[in-house]
Amino acid sequence: MTDTPAPRHIPDRLDKPLSSAIFSWEALLIVIAVIIFAVNSLASPYFLD
């Protein structure tokens, strides 16, 4: 019997890329930015003019 460990398999991609992209912190920042732009455009008539 040998003491050689079994080779490990490291996947190149995650199993569910869409769900990991939706729940990432980058997606959270985009959602917060969109909310800020929407609120500011309603609050000020000169925002994004």
Q: What percent of the chain has pLDDT over 90?
A: 31
pTM above 0.85, yes or no: no
Instruction: State pLDDT tens for residues 5-16.
Output: 888 887 776 677
Within 10 angstroms of residue 31's Cβ, the number of other Cβ atoms is 11
Instruction: Output the pLDDT for position 20.
Output: 75
What is the C-alpha R_g of the chain?
23
Domain boundaries, the chain: 16-49
Token output for 33: 């930015």
C-alpha span between 7 and 17 (Å, rounded): 25
The residue ranking higher by pLDDT, 38 or 2, is: 38
Mean pLDDT on 34-41: 93
